[in-house]
């Protein structure tokens, strides 16, 4: 049996440690999101464009242009199959993209700038959106000709004894800043400008539970893949994790719901504020980018201790995302707009190519074995080859049950893979390009390219297209 080409000890590591590459979108990247399979990374820019990177080659797989030019893309959300991508913008619109051909399935104007929009986990034609100075909206696009929008409650659910004089006046400026579906899609969790966390029944559109975390606005909420852990980032410099009950349980009574803060993460020395937060793939770690700082902090949830600070570019980092299956982190640079990637560098084990191969650090005297280089009879070699040819190996069959468990099937019941047209011009890597003026580049020499340590892929090579989509091929960076 073949040995793994990578060191198993290194493969067991679950925290990234080294900056390995940089990507450039078509403009300044402000939001990013991994697909559920982790093979694609979508990036929204301040110019209103969307770039999708193929992480196997770190090349540009597709570009989408549909939002108003110059209006920032606020959020991105994938469906489980990886075929559909939802984007929202401050141009008041949300767009559902079909990555089979790059077309727009539907476009909706929600009547206000959109803070964030998330797809329903089981139905890509339903989304929830938090709007600027307005109530959150549950939008249903299952009927192609009509768009059904239902306004969700802004205000928290208070007990009668909690209602005080002047509450109505204060509630007039109470708005929702973030909203997200639970993994089962039965509830919507929202955060407000007054620090309240609301749990809303998606079927009845009523608030079933509310808790106040702080007096400052809630900036971001993220749920783990299991749906039992909630991560909350508020503007009071404290990151909180909250254990959730099984909200998909039909026996769960709303009156029995009680949420408590599990851990609080903060920098008590420097009093740092946090730009963006995310769970690790298994929710064992919490990650956050810092305001006016270039470090990424990673805490371990079991004891609430800081385990690593990722150092990278000398610029402030904005949105951060953790790969859904492996120790791989992506973050956007606030100043440059590039996407920075951290991972674990695993040196290859050449001994895996032959079980009896031994690696040595320096030259040693080698004594040849008696029969090591004996020539085998040609008939014996031919017999071995024929025996191997008789063995049937099925490399094409796919287990549909496994794909369904992984959420990789789309409506047709087949696994979806985004098509990439390789006859379009390749995206240029910054390893091979050098700036010679404002917006002008020339190709580096081979010697210069080989000296580079980090690969940078330009998602804007060749200029923007006036079409809604532009499909580009990918290529590997120079080793």
Q: Residue 436: pLDDT band by 50, 70, 90 thresholds?
A: very low
Per-residue CA distances from 384 to 48, 387, 391 (Å): 60, 5, 11
Residues 175-197: tens digit of each pLDDT:
999 999 998 899 999 999 999 99
Q: Residue 100: pLDDT band by 50, 70, 90 thresholds?
A: confident
pLDDT for 448: 40
DSSP E strand boundaries for 213-284 = 218-223, 229-234, 239-243, 261-265, 274-279
Residues 344-392: tens digit of each pLDDT:
887 666 666 666 777 777 888 888 877 777 777 788 888 888 887 777 7
pLDDT for 433: 41
pLDDT for 477: 35
Q: Which of 254, 247, 211 is nearest to 232 (CA)?
A: 211
- Local structure of 64: helix, strand or coil: strand
pLDDT value at 114 more than 90: yes
C-alpha span between 413 and 410 (Å, rounded): 6
pLDDT for 118: 95
pLDDT for 211: 92
What's the pTM? 0.75
Q: Residue 261: pLDDT band by 50, 70, 90 thresholds?
A: very high
Name the region of 15 (left: φ>0; alpha: ψ -120 to 50; beta: rest): beta
C-alpha span between 307 and 293 (Å, rounded): 18
Q: Which two tokens stand for residue 224?
A: 């783990």
Query: Which of 43-57, 89-103, 250-264, 329-343 shows the lowest mean pLDDT across its residues?
Result: 250-264
Q: Which of 319, 355, 357, 371 is nearest to 340 (CA)?
A: 319
pLDDT value at 43 more than 90: yes
Chain mean position to CA 419: 20
Residues 318-352: tens digit of each pLDDT:
999 999 998 999 999 999 999 999 998 876 666 66
Per-residue CA distances from 272 to 235, 237, 268, 321 (Å): 10, 6, 8, 19
91-108: average pLDDT: 91
> Would you say the C-alpha torsion 448, 450, 451, 452 has a positive or negative sign?
positive
Q: What one-character DSSP code corresponds to residue 336?
A: T
Q: What architecture does CATH give domain 16-160+172-343?
A: 7 Propeller (2.130)
**Cα angle 395-397-400, degrees, rounded to a multiple of 5:** 140
Q: What one-character DSSP code corresponds to residue 91?
A: T
pLDDT for 280: 93
pLDDT value at 4 more than 70: no
pLDDT for 5: 45
Mean pLDDT, the chain, rounded, equals 79
Residues 451-472: tens digit of each pLDDT:
334 555 565 544 443 344 333 3
Sorted by where each begins, the domain ranges of the chain are 16-160+172-343
Q: Which of 19, 90, 30 is nearest to 338 (CA)?
A: 30
């Amino acid at each position: 049996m073949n040995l793994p080409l990578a060191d198993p000890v290194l493969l067991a590591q679950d925290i990234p440690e080294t900056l390995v590459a940089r990507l450039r979108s078509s403009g300044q990247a402000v939001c990013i999101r991994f697909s559920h399979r982790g093979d694609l990374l979508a990036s929204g820019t301040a110019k209103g464009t969307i770039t999708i990177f193929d992480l196997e080659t770190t090349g540009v797989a597709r570009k989408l242009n549909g939002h108003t030019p110059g209006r920032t893309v606020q959020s991105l959300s994938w469906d489980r199959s990886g075929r559909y991508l939802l984007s929202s913008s401050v141009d008041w619109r949300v767009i559902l993209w079909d990555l089979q051909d790059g077309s727009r399935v539907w476009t909706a104007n929600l009547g206000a700038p959109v803070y964030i929009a998330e797809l329903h986990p089981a139905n890509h034609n339903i989304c929830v959106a938090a709007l600027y100075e307005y109530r959150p909206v549950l939008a249903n696009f299952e009927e192609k000709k009509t768009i059904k929008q239902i306004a969700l409650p802004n205000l928290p659910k208070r007990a009668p004894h909690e209602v005080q004089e002047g509450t109505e006046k204060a509630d007039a400026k109470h708005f929702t800043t973030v909203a997200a579906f639970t993994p089962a899609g039965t509830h919507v969790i929202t955060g407000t400008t007054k620090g309240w966390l609301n749990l809303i029944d998606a079927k009845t559109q009523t608030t079933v539970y509310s808790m106040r975390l702080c007096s400052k606005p809630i900036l971001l909420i993220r749920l783990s893949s299991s749906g039992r852990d909630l991560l909350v980032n508020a503007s009071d410099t404290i990151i909180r994790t909250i254990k959730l009950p099984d909200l998909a349980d039909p026996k769960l009574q709303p009156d029995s719901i009680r949420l408590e803060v599990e851990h609080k993460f903060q920098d008590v020395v420097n009093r740092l504020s946090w730009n963006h937060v995310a769970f690790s793939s298994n929710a064992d770690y919490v990650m956050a980018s810092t305001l006016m700082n270039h470090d990424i902090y990673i805490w371990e949830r079991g004891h609430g201790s800081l385990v690593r600070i990722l150092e990278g570019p000398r610029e402030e980092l904005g949105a951060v995302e953790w790969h859904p299956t492996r120790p791989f982190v992506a973050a956007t640079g606030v100043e440059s707009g590039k996407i920075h990637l951290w991972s674990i560098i695993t040196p290859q084990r050449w001994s895996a190519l032959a079980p009896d191969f031994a690696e040595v650090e320096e030259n040693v005297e080698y004594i040849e074995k008696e029969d090591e280089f004996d020539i085998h009879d040609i008939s014996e070699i031919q017999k071995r080859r024929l025996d191997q040819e008789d063995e049937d190996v099925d490399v094409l069959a796919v287990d549909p049950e496994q794909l369904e468990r992984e959420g990789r099937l789309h409506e047709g019941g087949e696994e979806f893979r985004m098509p990439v047209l390789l006859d379009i011009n390749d995206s240029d890597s910054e390893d091979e390009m050098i700036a010679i003026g404002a917006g002008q580049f020339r190709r580096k020499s081979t010697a210069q390219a080989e000296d580079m340590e980090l690969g940078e892929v330009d998602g804007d090579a060749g200029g923007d297209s006036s079409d809604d989509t532009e499909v580009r091929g990918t290529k590997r960076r120079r080793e």
